[in-house]
A and B are shown apart, each in its own frame.
Chain A
């Protein structure tokens, strides 16, 4: 099988793959390198290595406040969105009449340009009187656009799941609630936690929709955006590199959990 697969990949395709990966990684790696540059502005040449910019970034209180705000909102969004998305995935598993309706509704945020969703939510929420800010419009808006991700991840897990275990639980006299908490939930748990982590990351990184919804509050992407229009010092590069490492760590944890699900 493995040798069969190899015959499909010619030399040119492999060269193409290398060029694409270089294209994908050179900008990120360059940004990380420049965050250690002992120069006053972002750019080459390297004028010696320093960790000062990381220190500047970490001791910037506005950035720190924004970071804490982002973590708090992200956690709240992850909990709400995961609960709503998981329940919906469980409901649709039994083939409800409204299935295709719900799927189209739930996937709508994926094909609505982010800027339009930001504007629509901004205008709609203002009109409806939802308070603008982190735990008002930002929270509600983030949950809205992250529900599809949880729904899809949990649905995928459910469709690959063996129903005989739950049937056995029902045959042994467990009611619906018991069967769920003793059998279904433990099997779903890695998908739920993995989905929750991805939702946290989506909320944590979201810029344009937050931009319209945040009002006077700041999240980390908004704080970084403001820094970019102040001065282009390597502090921004240091901040972004930190963010990147944080993201990759969460992402790999989430992937590991999801993969463990797929494997079991």
Chain B
């Protein structure tokens, strides 16, 4: 490339323009995102004292977490729930996304618009919607009694882990479907046709061509679901009752009931680390990049 003098001036101006444009967002994100996250990490090594925090560095909070079963067991239970919900939603969401991607465009448009409604409805509303379904006067009980499966309405459907599982699956299902759909929609169908022409049967085409090429969507969907479920607060609070609480509820309690802010920071750091580990393992396994979640929502 032979650049003449005015071109260099133009490129220089363009670089300056870029730097001026990127500066506000970068400064904002450093000051209002990175700095608070870094401070939270620092606070997690401090302790609480009357009227504030004691800035003496210690591992006491982390020790307290591992030695107190309420916290460590609750964390393990929540981790398990996040993994189970992610797996269930992958099994439900993948075929749904696949079907949407291969459907006649006439139906596809309307089904996609319909999918946006739950995707963009507040999770507060979508969690709450399960109360009148699973409650004693709820629809499920009415159906079960009408069918003769139950003699009388049962109160056992709500306020337990089962209700939380159902609610979480419901709230986050669109987070799995949409990223997978976006990848499948862009897929070049001629690759599948080529495989079929070479004698591969349907299953072989799917497992050798379609699925491997959709891994970036699978990975994005799993990351979004896992991150949201492991940090869930609203759904377990509304549907779980005392026995159905999750780690997020215990974290929030440090700020609203226990008033142990440094320990709350410690519990948050543990949550972030588990999300990072999950993302690292998953992206390594699927050979994708976590930045793919950007295409999802």
A interface residues, Cβ below 8 angstroms from B: 2, 4-6, 8-9, 13-14, 16-17, 20-21, 23-28, 30-31, 34, 41-45, 83-85, 87-88, 90-92, 94, 96, 98, 102-116, 119-125, 127-128, 140-141, 143-144, 147-149, 151-152, 170, 176, 201, 205, 207-208, 212, 221, 224-225, 228, 232, 236-237, 240, 243-244, 247-248, 251-252, 255
Chain A: minimal CB distance from B178 (Å): 12
Asked, given contacts A88-B22, A122-B255, whether A28 binds B99 with beta carbons under 8 Å apart, the answer is no
Chain A: minimal CB distance from B146 (Å): 11
Q: Are B102 and A5 in contact (CB under 8 A)?
A: yes
Task: Report the bound CA distance from A119 to B267 in whole Å.
Answer: 10
Instruction: A30-B133, A41-B137, A119-B40 given; name 17 further pairs at CB < 8 Å.
Output: A2-B105, A24-B174, A27-B129, A28-B126, A42-B131, A45-B142, A91-B20, A91-B22, A107-B290, A113-B230, A113-B272, A115-B268, A123-B36, A124-B37, A125-B36, A170-B10, A176-B13
**A–B pairs, 12, beta carbons within 8 Å:** A16-B95, A88-B22, A88-B25, A91-B22, A108-B29, A110-B224, A112-B37, A116-B251, A123-B36, A141-B32, A221-B124, A255-B113
B residues within 8 A CB of A115? Answer: 231, 233, 248, 251-252, 268, 271
A residues within 8 A CB of B10? Answer: 170
B interface residues, Cβ below 8 angstroms from A: 10, 13-15, 17-22, 24-26, 28-30, 32-37, 39-40, 43, 92, 95-96, 98-100, 102-105, 111, 113-118, 120-126, 128-133, 135-139, 142, 170, 173-174, 177, 189, 192-193, 223-224, 227-228, 230-231, 233-234, 238, 248, 251-252, 255, 261, 264-265, 268, 271-272, 275, 279, 290-291, 293-295, 297
A residues within 8 A CB of B103? Answer: 5-6, 9, 17
Q: Are A84 and B234 in contact (CB under 8 A)?
A: no
Q: In the complex, what residue of chain B is closest to A116 when comparing beta carbons?
A: B268
Q: In the complex, what residue of chain A is closest to B103 when comparing beta carbons?
A: A9
Chain A: minimal CB distance from B24 (Å): 5
Q: Are B36 and A98 in contact (CB under 8 A)?
A: no
A residues within 8 A CB of B122? Answer: 205, 207, 221, 243, 247
Q: In the complex, what residue of chain A is closest to B129 when comparing beta carbons?
A: A27
Q: In the complex, what residue of chain B is closest to A107 when comparing beta carbons?
A: B294
Task: Report the bound CA distance from A28 to B139 in whole Å.
Answer: 12
Q: In the complex, what residue of chain A is closest to B133 when comparing beta carbons?
A: A27
Q: Are B120 and A90 in contact (CB under 8 A)?
A: no
Chain A-chain B contacts (Cβ-Cβ < 8 Å), number: 261
B residues within 8 A CB of A84? Answer: 24-25, 28
Query: From DSSP, what is the main secondary structure of chain B's interface residues?
Result: helix
Chain A: minimal CB distance from B243 (Å): 18
B residues within 8 A CB of A208? Answer: 233-234
A residues within 8 A CB of B13? Answer: 176
Of B34, B137, B189, B275, chain A has the most CB atoms within 10 Å of the CB of B137
Asked, given contacts A144-B29, A152-B295, whether A120 binds B102 with beta carbons under 8 Å apart, the answer is no
Chain B: minimal CB distance from A44 (Å): 5
A residues within 8 A CB of B231? Answer: 113-116
Asked, given contacts A13-B98, A91-B19, A123-B39, whether A30 binds B230 with beta carbons under 8 Å apart, the answer is no
Q: Are B129 and A30 in contact (CB under 8 A)?
A: yes
Chain A: minimal CB distance from B264 (Å): 6
Chain A: minimal CB distance from B18 (Å): 4
Of B17, B19, B122, B230, chain A has the most CB atoms within 10 Å of the CB of B122
A108's contact among B19, B33, B223, by CB below 8 Å, is which? B33
B residues within 8 A CB of A28? Answer: 117-118, 121, 125-126, 129
Task: Report the bound CA distance from A178 to B251 in whole Å.
Answer: 51
Q: In the complex, what residue of chain A is closest to B114 when comparing beta carbons?
A: A21
Q: Are B124 and A123 in contact (CB under 8 A)?
A: no
Asked, given contacts A13-B95, A20-B96, A105-B29, whether A27 binds B104 with beta carbons under 8 Å apart, the answer is no
B residues within 8 A CB of A16? Answer: 95-96, 99
Task: Report the bound CA distance from A83 to B17 in whole Å.
Answer: 15
Q: Are B294 and A121 in contact (CB under 8 A)?
A: no
Chain A: minimal CB distance from B251 (Å): 6
A residues within 8 A CB of B29? Answer: 105-106, 108, 144, 147
Q: Are A103 and B294 in contact (CB under 8 A)?
A: yes
A residues within 8 A CB of B265? Answer: 119, 123
A24's contact among B118, B193, B252, B291, by CB below 8 Å, is which? B118
